[in-house]
Amino acid sequence: MAQTAQPAPGLTDMSLVARGEYLARAGDCIACHTAPERALFAGGRPMPTPFGTIYTSNITPDPETGIGTWTPDQFYGSLHDGRFPDGGLLYPAMPFGSYTKVTRQDSDAIFAYLKTVVPVHQADRPHDLRFPFNNRSLILGWRTLFFSEGVYKPDPTKSEEYNRGAYLVGGLGHCGMCHTAINALGGSSESEAFQGGLIPLQNWYAPSLTSNREAGLGDWSIKDISDLLRTGVSARGAVYGPMAEVVYNSLQYMTDDDTHAMAVYLKGLAQGGPPQAPASTVPTAEGSLLMSLGKTVYDGKCAICHEANGQGRPPNYPPLAGNQSIQMTSAVNAIRMVLNGGYPPGTSGNPQPFGMPPFAVSLNDNEVAAVVTYIRASWGNRGTAVTAAQANELRSAPLD
């Protein structure tokens, strides 16, 4: 275990706490450890997983039910090594696989901040996991397969800004938790990092950050990427669903320098130009009918905001023509947006976001499939067709 880091010369306790609050925002700790309409950081939020439900822990400084008796060493152990103070193993729903990259200095700052929040006496709720996943000893096998301990080491061939972005994205931001596919054992492969995947049980697709055909940002400007991270909207598009929550809870509070650094790193992840889209899996005759019906639906429901040519009116109404998120192999997000609608997050940079209305009631499955197919295949877009069965499957998807 590393030695306790001492504050830098001249760093007051209050400035350490303020830095810790900023870093806790960067790590989006509030999203998991604060249940809706409950006390800050008191835990108890249900986290559905394919293995059952995990309930988040109380990390307020209450001495009996929270972390009030923890030491900085013990807190660092939970982030860096995924262990409780008594040596017990944390379930990997806690993203210690990413947090292990966090420096000891940053860990101490976060701990100093958490010690200042209002203590809440609320015992942690037991997890509701199916056998054999309720046996914590199985985590040892998971760790052997999927956990690599170690603080982030800067790449000497890259700029300081790039390394700062890599540290934030891969460490505190734990972006790989969603943007890397999760296998049947609940783990992910380093070789598939940031290549995208379906978010389990939420029915949203976190696009690849490496492929320019998905969310790879190789042809985006640094400003557009920074704007999207900090405000939730940019000239190239907007964020919805789980990513809107990340921007609302976390990214909007970050400094311009840090979002710029993240943008530099994310842009560097992009690999090559957009590949040719695969041929449609829907028969040609059916695809033609979908396009015809889809245009009728689009002209009646969508063109008023997104324009007949799909160019939209950014940033309030995102463009659909050339929009990478529309053309991804997975059509889940596009279908969900038509069914459920949504809003970008309300942020200081976008305090009155323009939203999209839901069409689940006014459009049947055939019409939803048709309009999504039309959008994915018009104005030079090269997405494949979707089916009414796909639309129907997502009608019952959870809204958060």
Sequence spans of domains, the chain: 13-146, 160-269, 284-394
Please give the single-letter amino acid code of residue 400.
Answer: D
CB 177 within 8 A of CB 199: no
Supply the pTM of this predicted model: 0.88
Q: What is the pLDDT confidence band of residue 14, given thresholds at 50, 70 and 90?
A: confident
Per-residue confidence at 315, pLDDT binned at 50, 70, 90?
Answer: confident
- If you average pLDDT over every residue of the chain, what do you get? 89
Q: What pLDDT does 230 receive? A: 96
Tens digit of pLDDT for each residue in 37-49? 899 999 999 998 8
| CA distances for 371 relative to 156, 249, 285, angstroms | 49, 32, 16
Distance from the Cα of residue 116 to its chain's centroid:
27
In 3-state terms, what secondary structure has residue 180? strand
* Coil/strand/helix, residue 364: coil
Kindly give the interhelix angle for 72-81 and 104-114, rounded to the nearest 10 degrees. Answer: 120
Q: CB 230: neighbour CB atoms within 10 A? A: 25
Structure tokens at 36: 């809706």
C-alpha closest to that of 149 among 77, 90, 94, 85: 77
Q: Cα separation of 258 and 267, whole Å?
A: 14
The pLDDT assigned to 329 comes to 86
Given a cut of 90, is residue 25 above it in pLDDT? yes
Which string of b and e fits 173-183 if b means at least 16 CB within 10 Å? bbbbbbbbebe
| Torsion of the alpha carbons at 211, 215, 218 and 224, rounded to the nearest 10 | 180
Beta-strand runs (E) in the chain: 46-49, 52-55, 128-129, 197-199, 204-206, 233-234, 237-238
pLDDT band at 275 (very low <50, low <70, confident <90, very high): very low
Write out pLDDT tens, residues 194-218: 888 888 767 889 988 888 778 778 8
Residue 318 contacts residue 237 (beta carbons within 8 Å): yes
pLDDT score, position 5:
41
Fold annotation for 160-269: Cytochrome Bc1 Complex; Chain D, domain 2 (1.10.760)
Greater model confidence, 302 or 137: 302
Alpha carbon separation from 363 to 87, 309, 338 (Å, rounded): 54, 22, 9
Q: Is the pLDDT of residue 183 over 90?
A: no
The span from the CA of 381 to the CA of 16, in Å, is 49
Comparing 3-17, 84-98, 222-236, 257-271, the range with the smallest average pLDDT is 3-17
Chain position carrying tokens 């809870």: 249
pLDDT, residue 270, reads 81
Report whether pLDDT(229) > 70.
yes
Going by CATH, does the domain composed of 284-394 fall within 2.40.30.30?
no
Is there a shared CATH topology between the 160-269 domain and the 284-394 domain? yes
The answer to whether 27 and 167 are in contact (CB under 8 A) is: no
Mean pLDDT of 76-88: 96
Distance of CA 126 to the CA centre of its chain: 26
Residue with tokens 């309720």: 134
